[in-house]
Amino acid sequence: MSEMSIINLTPSQLRQAANIKEKIEQLHKQLAQLQGTKVTVASAPAAKPAKKKISAAGIARIKAAQKARWAKIKGGAKPAVKPATKPAAKPVKKARWAKIRAEKSAKK
């Protein structure tokens, strides 16, 4: 069966399609009652996924960056608040990569 575009339907055809859909849903409910199963309607809207929350540190970084952008645009002094960073991560990464490079050169 080919898909029909809703745009091409007249208002009376749309109403007729809605009536048919309602009848189908009622028949599904009746069938489920006879079988003793729960009713699941395919046209029911799905639950929205949970929104991801930003941590307080993340919000602070965003605010500080926005203040810095506005200060740059307005030509004012840079804000005193610096975005939170992870200073300890850089030396750890450098040491890790130095170790990997040393192992590669030792294998050659």
pLDDT digits (tens, 9 = 90+) for 8-36: 888 888 888 889 999 999 999 888 888 88
89 in any annotated domain: yes
Residue 100's H or E segment, with its range, is helix 89-107
47 in any annotated domain: no
Q: Which residue has the higher pLDDT, 26 or 88?
A: 26
95 in any annotated domain: yes
| Residues 57 and 84: beta-carbon distance below 8 Å | yes
Number of structural domains found in the chain? 2
* C-alpha dihedral sign at 33, 36, 39, 42: negative
Same domain, 28 and 60: no
18 in any annotated domain: yes
Q: How far apart are CA 84 and CA 58, in angstroms?
A: 8
Same domain, 60 and 26: no
82 in any annotated domain: yes
pLDDT digits (tens, 9 = 90+) for 26-83: 999 888 888 887 656 565 567 788 888 889 999 999 999 999 999 888 886 655 666 6
| Residues 84 and 65: beta-carbon distance below 8 Å | no
| Residues 78 and 62: beta-carbon distance below 8 Å | no
80 in any annotated domain: yes
49 in any annotated domain: no
> Would you list the DSSP string of 28-49?
HHHHHHHHT-----TTSPPPPP
Same domain, 31 and 62: no
78 in any annotated domain: yes
Range of the domain at 23: 10-35
CA atoms within 13 A on the CB side of 106: 6
- pLDDT for residue 101 is more than 90: yes
Tracing tokens 């307080």 back to the chain, one arrives at 56
